[in-house]
Copies of this chain bind each other. A is one copy, B any other.
Amino acid sequence: MDNFSYCSPTKYVFGRGAENHVAQELASIGATRVMIVYGGGSVVRSGLLDRVKVQLDAANLFHTELGGVEPNPTDPKVREGIALCRETGIDTILAVGGGSVIDTAKAIAAGVPYQGDFWDFWAGKETIREALPVGVVLTIPAAGSEGSGNSVITLLDGMHKISLRTDFWLRPKFALLNPELTFTLPAEQTAAGIADMMAHIFERYFSPTQNVEVTDRISEGLLTAIMTDAVKVMADPRDYEARANIMWSGTLAHNGLCGCGRKEDWVSHFMEHEISAVYGVTHGAGLAVILPAFMTYMANHRPEKGAQLARRVFGVSENDDRLAALEGIGRLKAFFASIGLPLTFGELGIDRPNIELLVRKLHENKGELIGGYMTLGPTETEEIYRLAL
C-alpha cells in the first residue's frame, strides 16, 4: 500500500426529499448570494428549479441563474458564469444537475476569486488556492462530481478536454441526493452513467500497487452492487431502491475512496476524452467502448489485475490469468450490451474514426507517456483504439 492523504468533507444528504434541504444547507455554509447553475430544460420542465428557487426565496437568499450548460462543458460558459458572479457579488454556487453542470459550477467557483484566466488551473500553470463554496442538487448519477475534487472542462480553442483534480478546493460542501429525481432519466443516459461510475472504479482498480486488499475489496463490492442494481433499474426506471443504490455507488465510485493507497490509471478516461471532444459522443457511452479495449490490451500484456477482477466480480473460475481476464472482459461486454451500451466505435456512431488524430491529441494533452497500470506511448494507445473498432 502506498502512502496517501484522503479527505472527503462533503456532507451528503441522501434520500427522498433531499433537495428540500437546500436552503438549510446553503445557510449552514454561510451563503448569502447564490448563483444557480443548471443545464438544459429538464430541471425547468420537472419543476425542480422552481422548487429550489422557492426555498431560496423563503430563506431570503439572493439568487441569480446561469442555465444552458451543455454536456462536455466548455470554457465560454465558465467565463460567462465568472463574469456574472462578479457583477452580482455572488458568494456561493449551487449546481442543479449532473456532472457537466457541477464541473462548470466548480470551474466558476475557482475562477471568481482568481485574477488571471481560470484556464490557468486546467492548463496546469497555476494551483487553486481559493474558491467559492459549491453545493449540489444531483439529478444524474454518473460523473461522481458531487463528491469529487475534480472538474472536466473542454477549451473550445483546440478542443482540449482536461480533467483537473484537487484535494480540497473543488470538493462540494454539500450534495443533496434524491434518487427519485433520476426516475425520468432516459435509458441511454442511465446506462451511460453506469458505465461512467464503473469506469471511475476501474481507473483506480487497474493499479500497479500491490497489497491494497481493502481498497480492492471495496472496489469489487461497489462494482458488484452497481451491476446488480443496474439490471433492476433498466427493467424498471422507477425502482427507488435500485436507483438509490446506483446513485450512492456513483458518489462512492469517485470520491477518492477507491483510490486510497494506490497509484491510479486513468488511461481509459484520457482516451475517451479525446473521442468525446472530437466526436461529441456521450462520455459514458465512449467509456463502454474504450474500457473493454483497454482491458483486452492489459489481458495480453499484464493480466493479473484483470484476472482478479474476473474471478472476484464476474465469477470466472479459469486458472490462467490471461484467459481469466479475457473471460471477464467477455462478461463485462455482455453486461454493457445488456443495458444497451455500445461496444465498438461503429456502435458509437463513428464508422471511420480518425485514430491518428485521437492518438496525436491524446499525447499532446496528456504527455508522450501515459498510464498508471502500464506506461503507454502512442504505439500502445493506437493499438487500444484499434481494439475498439
Question: Which chain A residues have a beta carbon within 8 Å of chain B's beta carbons?
Answer: 1-18, 210-222, 224-226, 228-229, 241-242, 244-245, 248-249, 252, 257, 260-261
Check A210–B241 contact: CB distance below 8 A. yes
The distance in angstroms between the C-alpha atoms of A358 and B210, with both chains bound, is 46
Q: Is there contact, CB below 8 Å, between B7 and A248?
A: no
Q: Is the CB of A217 within 8 A of B211?
A: no
Q: A3-B14, A15-B1 are in contact. Are A224 and B217 (CB under 8 A)?
A: yes
Contact among B10, B211, B215, B248 with A1 in the assembled complex (CB-CB below 8 Å)? B248
Q: Which residues of B contact A6 (CB under 8 A)?
A: 11-12, 14
Contact of A213 among B3, B225, B260 (CB under 8 A): B225
Contact A214 B218, CB 8 Å, known A3-B15, A7-B11, A14-B4: no
Contacts of A1 in B (CB 8 A): 15, 241, 244-245, 248
B contact residues around A242 at 8 Å (CB): 211
Which 4 A-B pairs give the minimum distances between C-beta atoms?
A: A3-B15, A217-B221, A211-B241, A221-B221
The residues of B that contact A221 with a CB separation of less than 8 Å are 214, 217-221
**Cβ contacts under 8 Å, A7 to chain B:** 9-12
Partner of A214, one of B12, B17, B213, B222: B222
Name the residue of chain B whose CB is nearest to the CB of A240: B1
Q: Which residues of B contact A17 (CB under 8 A)?
A: 3
Q: Are A222 and B218 in contact (CB under 8 A)?
A: yes
Query: Cβ of A226: which chain B residues have Cβ within 8 Å of it?
Result: 214
Q: Which residue of B lies closest to A7 (CB)?
A: B11
Q: Which residues of B contact A229 (CB under 8 A)?
A: 213-214
Report yes or no: A245 in contact with B213, Cβ–Cβ below 8 A: yes
A225 CB contact (under 8 Å) in B12, B210, B217 = B217
Nearest CB in chain B: distance from A30 CB, A: 16
Distance (whole angstroms) from the CB of A149 to the closest CB of chain B: 13
Q: Which residue of B lies closest to A223 (CB)?
A: B217
Tell me which of B217, B218, B260 contacts A14 (CB under 8 A): B260
Min CB distance, A169 to chain B, in Å?
A: 14
Shortest distance from the beta carbon of A98 to any chain B beta carbon, whole Å = 19
Contact yes or no, B5 A245, CB < 8 A: no
Complex Cα distance, B222 from A245, in Å, reads: 18
Contacts A220-B221, A221-B220 given; does A214 touch B245 at CB 8 Å: yes
> Among B11, B212, B222, which residue has its beta carbon within 8 angstroms of that of A217?
B222
Query: How many angstroms between the C-alpha atoms of A343 and B2 in the bound complex?
Result: 35
User: Considering the chains assembled together, what is the distance between the CA atoms of A15 and B244 in angstroms?
Assistant: 34
Report chain B residues within 8 Å CB of A222: 214, 217-218
Can you name 26 A-B pairs with beta carbons within 8 Å?
A: A1-B244, A3-B15, A3-B17, A4-B14, A4-B15, A5-B12, A6-B12, A7-B9, A7-B10, A9-B9, A14-B260, A14-B261, A15-B261, A211-B241, A211-B242, A214-B221, A214-B222, A214-B225, A214-B245, A215-B248, A217-B221, A217-B224, A217-B225, A218-B221, A218-B222, A219-B221
Give the CA-CA distance A1 to B249 in the complex, in Å.
Answer: 13
A45 to B216, CA, bound (A): 36
Residues of B within 8 A of A8 (CB): 8-9
